[in-house]
Amino acid sequence: MAKVLTARAENFPQWFQDVIAKAQVADNGPVRGTMVIRPVGYAIWERMQAEMDLRIKAAGSENAYFPLFIPESYLRREAEHVEGFSPELAVVTHAGGKALSEPLVVRPTSETVIGEYMAKWIDSYRDLPLLLNQWANVVRWELRPRLLLRTTEFLWQEGHTAHATEADARAYARRILHDVYEDFMRVVLAMPVVVGRKTARERFAGATSTYTLEGMMGDGKALQMGTSHELGQNFARVFDIVYTTAAGGQEICWTTSWGSSTRMLGGLIMCHGDDNGLRVPPRAAAVQALVTVVKAGDGVLEAATKLTDQLRDAGVRAALDDRVDTPFGRRAVDAELKGFPIRLEVGPRDLAAGNVVLVRRIDGSKTPVPLTEAVPRVVAALAEDQQALYDEALARRETNTHDVTTLDDALAATAEGWARLPWSAVGTEGEAKANAEGVTVRCLVRADGSVPDSEDEPDLVAYLARAY
């Protein structure tokens, strides 16, 4: 069979582009930097949305929707925020055939517009905490766009909350970080992310603290998978988000924001994919088991249809491929490219022996199994393969994370993976030197791996890497 994809070891970026194209995940849009997410990719994104949304709602946040267009004056009210986003803004100056009296910014993020409405909706302590989330698109004008990693327009969720105290805001930002993002990425995406604190240099514009989740890709580079921010009282002060206390006084709220995007889909591909295409973790797969009719024969379609129904009854997301007018080999390669975790091949010869063939995408095995045992075998295989992907990704990360003691050694180590060293050996001057060489401090953690409250805590550990 002719090679479908560039080998990862040969050219990882080209392999990534090949997978996106050949597995029909996404395509370039008509405007530079935009993308079309095809049904294969969007189905995975919908699974991500569903799993994330459950966790966001369990954390108490409610979904809302805010406008795509934001008055330019809103952004300019928070100086650090507009300065941080200024190079990426898309601005509308004309509409309806005439110049607008005030330019409109196409939403790069919604702290400012949501802050305006928080001020309107919050009156007393009884209105707090106000916990909001929206699923939306945003626009950030990228100079060097890459499909599913850095695009001018992308999809995401962004949460925005207001609290009575700094402690409550901090606790909620951390709750989102761990109970929503970390749990989702580890349990559903099978990605062993490192969770830590961004340095002041890498902090979100206008935030007082930024927490991050960093994943290692198949080539050893890092990808920021999501962030959660404490905004202090910066936005609340500017937008007059205040509340009346139980004692009758007036206080300024403390706010947070947090987000994750379709970049996670790119991360899933680069973390788990192999030279044959996607490998989708079973819990993230829109189709967990594809029942494939090998060729027509007595009772084959009926058996395949019944098996598909039995899988669905057992809680497996199953689909039937009965396109016998398309060569079986072509369908098998297509299923492998798209990363369906399990394929059950139903053909006349195996069926006559009372069997179907169980094909596992993760380890590539093909095993005849009795038709009567197919459903429990699939359920067990899905659980095993979910864990296998996580274990494989964790082992790769540990193998390619190098413990060093000096900045020079760290910079050398990032040619192949991540470097881990004392933050005191880097510092702000070392961070600037690393940045000049294309290396960033991905996050800071305590010695025990927990997330610090400040970058000034003693004995912090820094992770350095080249990143997407």
Q: Where are the domains of the chain?
A: 12-272, 287-383, 403-465
With CA atoms as reference, report the closest residue to 256 among 225, 213, 211, 200: 211
Strand pairing category for 342-346 and 289-293: parallel
Which helix (H) or strand (E) segment is 388 a member of? helix 374-399
Q: What is the pLDDT of residue 130?
A: 98
Amino acid identity at 199: T
Q: How far apart are CA 184 and CA 163, in angstroms?
A: 25
Return the CATH architecture of domain 12-272. 2-Layer Sandwich (3.30)
210 close to 227: Cβ distance less than 8 angstroms: yes
Q: How many CB atoms lie within 10 A of CB 30?
A: 6
pLDDT range class, residue 2, cuts 50, 70, 90 = low
Q: What is the pLDDT of residue 82?
A: 81
Q: pLDDT (tens digit, 9 = 90+) per residue, 351-375?
A: 999 999 999 999 999 999 999 999 9
Which helix (H) or strand (E) segment is 465 a member of? strand 461-465
Terminal-residue alpha carbon distance, the chain = 32
Amino acid identity at 397: R
Q: What is the pLDDT of residue 271?
A: 98
213 close to 458: Cβ distance less than 8 angstroms: no
Sequence-ordered list of residues with C-beta below 8 angstroms from that of 58, at least 6 positions apart, any chain: 179
Looking at the domain that runs over 287-383, which CATH code has it been given? Answer: 3.40.50.800
User: What value, to the nearest 5°, has the Cα angle with vertex 44 and ends 41 and 50?
Assistant: 140
Task: Map residue 432 onto helix, strand or coil.
Answer: helix
18 has a pLDDT exceeding 80: yes
Look up residue 291 and give its two tokens.
Answer: 């029942």
With CA atoms as reference, report the closest residue to 316 among 327, 308, 324: 308
pLDDT range class, residue 121, cuts 50, 70, 90 = very high
Q: How far apart are CA 431 and CA 439, in angstroms?
A: 8
Q: pLDDT (tens digit, 9 = 90+) per residue, 449-459?
A: 999 999 999 99
385 has a pLDDT exceeding 50: yes
Task: Give DSSP secondary structure letters for 189-219.
Answer: S----EEEE--GGGSPTT-SEEEEEEEE-TT
DSSP, res 452: P
Sequence-ordered list of residues with C-beta below 8 angstroms from that of 81, at least 6 positions apart, any chain: 75, 111, 112, 205, 206, 235
Q: How far apart are CA 188 and CA 413, in angstroms?
A: 30
Report the pLDDT averaged over residues 324-347. 97
160 has a pLDDT exceeding 90: yes
Q: What is the pLDDT of residue 368?
A: 98
pLDDT range class, residue 1, cuts 50, 70, 90 = very low
User: What value, to the nearest 5°, has the Cα angle with vertex 209 and ends 203 and 213?
Assistant: 70
pLDDT range class, residue 379, cuts 50, 70, 90 = very high
Q: pLDDT (tens digit, 9 = 90+) per residue, 171-219?
A: 999 999 999 999 999 999 999 999 999 999 999 999 999 999 999 999 9
430 has a pLDDT exceeding 60: yes
**The domains spanning 12-272 and 287-383 adopt the same CATH topology:** no
With CA atoms as reference, report the closest residue to 148 among 54, 278, 236: 278
DSSP, res 180: I
Q: How far is CA 202 from the centre of its chain?
A: 19
Report the pLDDT averaged over residues 116-133. 98
Helix 300-313 and helix 374-399: axis angle, to 10°? 60
105 has a pLDDT exceeding 50: yes
| Percentage of the residues of the chain whose pLDDT score is greater than 70 | 99
Look up residue 366 and give its two tokens.
Answer: 């093909």
With CA atoms as reference, report the closest residue to 444 among 467, 425, 468, 417: 425
What number of CA atoms fall less than 13 Å from residue 309's CA on the CB side? 6
Q: What is the pLDDT of residue 401?
A: 98
Long-range contacts of 298-302 (CB under 8 A, 24+ apart): 298/348, 299/351, 300/346, 300/347, 300/348, 300/351
Phi-psi region of 339 (alpha: psi -120 to 50; beta: other; left: phi over 0): left
Q: How far apart are CA 392 and CA 99, in angstroms?
A: 56
